[in-house]
Amino acid sequence: MAQNFLACDREQELLLPPSLREWLPEGHLAWFVIDAVAQLDLRAFYAGYRADGHGRAAHDPAMMVALLLYCYAIGERSSRRIERRCVEDVAVRVICANQAPDHTTIARFRQRHERALGELFGEVLALCAESGLVRVGVIAVDGTKVAANAAVQATRDYEQIAREILAEADAVDAEEDERFGDARGDELPAELSTAQGRRGWLREAKRRLDERRAEDARPIPKTRPERLKEGKRRLEEEHQVECDANADYEAYRARGVMKDGRRFGRPPNAFQPPAVPTGKINITDLDSRNVKTSRGWVQGYNAQLVTTAEQIVIAAEVNVDSPDFGHLEPMVTAARIELGRAGVEESPAVVLADAGYWHQVQMERLVSDGMAVLVCPGSCAGALAFQRAAGLEPGDERVLVGETSTLPYAVRITGPATINVFLKLETAVFLAATPPAGTERLLGLVRDVWPAVERAESVFQTTLQNGNPVIHPAVTLLNAGLLERTGGDFLFYEEGVTESVGRLIEAVDRERLAIAAALGVTVLSEPEIGMRQGYMTEHNYSTGYSRAPGFLGIKAQSELDHRYLTEDVGWSLILFTDLAAKLGVPTPVMDSVIQITSVVLGRDLRGEGLRTLATLGLDGLSPEQLAAL
C-alpha cells in the first residue's frame, strides 16, 4: 500500500474562481483594516482625481489607503518591500484584490496624499471612540527619539555650506560659460528691480516667514545642490530670528520696567549677535536635528505620543527637541483637540509623564483646569515639591497632587529604541495624595492601570519608602575606583554589592527606619520591600542584592556625576537628614555619605540645599503637622 499524502500538484488549474474570503481567517488584521477603511471619510483622496473618468485608470484610493495602513501597522515602511508583499504576502494580496501596484505608484500616492493620510488619525480615533475603546480617565505622555534617514556626518555649519556652494558655483559657471558664452539669462521681475521694491518685498516676506514655515510642509529637495541652498537659506532665517529676538529683548530691557511693573536690577550682560549664522543643519534631511538619547546622539526627531490605558493613541506629534521639557501641555492640548473631533466628551483626569516633562508654568495651567497630578515615583517628596512649585500651600484642597513610592515596572534600555520590562510589580507600590483625603480618589483613577498600588498613610510614607537613597550612593561610592577605571563596565548589583557594601546599605537603612518611626509612619526595610515587590528572594543586605532576580544584568553607570549621587544624595539624603534634625534623630552614617559625596563630586550638596524642609515650605510645621500631610 502506498504512503498517504495530501496531493501537491502545482499544475492543477482551479476548477472554480478563487474566493479571497477563503485566503485568510476571519479574525485576521487585514480584514479589520479593510472594514475600518470602509468606514472612513475618504473624500479628500477621491477629490484629486478626474470625475469624468477620462485618462488612465488609477488604483482605487480606498485600496491604496488600506494597503498603506496595513503595511505601516505591521512595521513595513519601504515602498519597494510593500510592492514585493503585493506579490508574495497573502494578506496584502487580499487587501489589493490581487492587484500589484509598483513601488513608484505607492510612493507617489503617499506623497500626493500626505496631508489626507495624516488626517486619517482623527477618523480612526473616532472609530475607536464609537467602539468604546477610548477611555481617557488616565492618559500617558511619552516621547522617543527616531533616527532620520541621514548621517550625522552630513551636518554642516554655515561656512561649510557656503564653501561647498561656491565650489559648485564655480563648476556651474564654467559649464554655463561654455554653453551660453556672453548671454546672461532672465532679468529680475519688475517689482524687484529697484531698491524700494526689494525692501518692500523683503519686509513683507519676513512678516510671513513664521506662518509660511509652519504651513508650507515642502518636501526635501532631491538634488544635493538644492539641499545645500535650502540649508543655507534656513540657517540665514534662523540667524535673522536670533538677531530680531535680541533687538526686542534689548528694547524691553531699555524700558527699565518688567511686565509686572517691577524695575529691573543690574543691566544685562552685553550681547552682540554673530555676524553670520552659527547653527548647523543636516544637508541630507534638512528637517532633522542631532537629538540626544540615552545611548548618545542620533540624527533624527523626537516623536511624542499620548495614549490611553488601553494603548489607544489619541495624539501624536514630531519635533526636533532633545528633551521632553515643555511638551506636556502641548501634547495634552493636542489630545483634547483630537478627542473633541472624535466626539469624545470625557476629559483626561490623570496625566502620566516622567520627570523630563516638568515645566512649572505649564503645570500651573494644567492643574488650574482641575486635572489631578500623580508624580511617579515621588523620588522623595515629589508631590510636595510640585505643590510648592505650583504656588500651592501644603494641604491645599483645590488641586489633588499625589506620588508613588516607586515605579510600577522595572525597565531598562537594552538597545536603540529597545527596552526590557523585566519585572511588573504586583504589590507594594505605595500611593498617597496631598491632602490625604484625596488618596482614595487618586487610587480609583489609577488602580485599573496599576493594580499594584496600595494606599499609603501620607506622602512622607511614600517619601521614606523610596529605597534609592539607601542603595545607590553606598554601592556607587564604595565602587568609585572601579567605576572610574572601567567606565562602569561591571554589573552594579551582582559585582558591586559585597558584604562590606551591604553593611553600609544596612546602616543607612536603619537610620531611615528610625526617622520614619519618629515621624509615626510605617516604612518597610529594604530587603522586606524588595521581597514583597519581587525584586529579591533573600532577606539580607548583601547577597539579597547580588543574587536578586530583579537586579540581574543591570550595568553600572558610566560616571560618578550621575543621578545615583546627584539626586539620591543631593535631593533625597539631604531631605532625610533635614527631617531627622527636626525630629531629633541622629544620622551620622547619612551625614558621612553626604560629606563624602560632596568631596567626590566637588560640590557642597548640603550648602546647595536643593530639597529641604525650607525649600518645600515645611520648615515651620511641627512633626505632627508633617505626618498629617
Which residues fall within 8 angstroms of residue 414, CB to CB, at 6 or more apart? Answer: 420
- The helix or strand, by DSSP H or E, that contains position 81, with its residue range, turns out to be helix 79-88
From CA 284, how far away is CA 301, in angstroms rounded? 14
Which residues partner with 298 through β-bridges?
Answer: 291
Residue with cell 516622567: 354
From CA 536, how far away is CA 528, in angstroms rounded? 9
Rg (CA), the chain: 31
Q: Which three cell numbers stand for residue 185?
A: 539669462
Q: Which three cell numbers stand for residue 96?
A: 489589493
Residue 320's Cα: distance from chain center in Å?
A: 11
Q: Which three cell numbers stand for residue 608?
A: 546647595
Q: How many CB atoms lie within 10 A of CB 583?
A: 16
Beta pairing, strands 372-375 & 350-352: parallel
Active site residue 359: no
Question: H helices then E strands: how many in the chain?
Answer: 25, 13
> Are 628 and 461 spatial neighbours (Cβ–Cβ below 8 Å)?
no
Per annotation, catalytic residue among 239, 472, 509, 578: 472
Q: Which three cell numbers stand for residue 378?
A: 515621588
From CA 139, how far away is CA 156, in angstroms rounded? 40
Half-sphere exposure at residue 76, Cβ-oriented, CA atoms within 13 angstroms: 18
From CA 327, how far away is CA 318, in angstroms rounded? 11
From CA 407, how far away is CA 411, in angstroms rounded? 9
| CA distances (Å), origin 168, targets 79, 226, 548 | 32, 11, 62
**DSSP per residue, 360-378:** HHHHHHHHHTT-EEEESS-
Q: What sign does the CA torsion over 11, 14, 19, 24 have?
A: negative
Residue with cell 518688567: 258
Provide the 3-class DSSP secondary structure of residue 162. helix
Provide the 3-class DSSP secondary structure of residue 398. coil
- The helix or strand, by DSSP H or E, that contains position 104, with its residue range, turns out to be helix 103-112
Per annotation, catalytic residue among 568, 591, 604, 619: 568
From CA 552, how far away is CA 417, in angstroms rounded? 21
With CA atoms as reference, report the closest residue to 516 among 595, 457, 589.
457
Q: Which three cell numbers stand for residue 583?
A: 525630629
Q: How far apart are the first and last CA of the chain?
A: 86
Q: How many CB atoms lie within 10 A of CB 329?
A: 18
If you ran DSSP here, which 8-state letter would residue 355 be given? G
Region of residue 132 (left: phi > 0; alpha: psi -120 to 50; beta: else) = left
> Are 137 and 346 spatial neighbours (Cβ–Cβ below 8 Å)?
yes
Active site residue 28: no
Catalytic residues: 472, 568
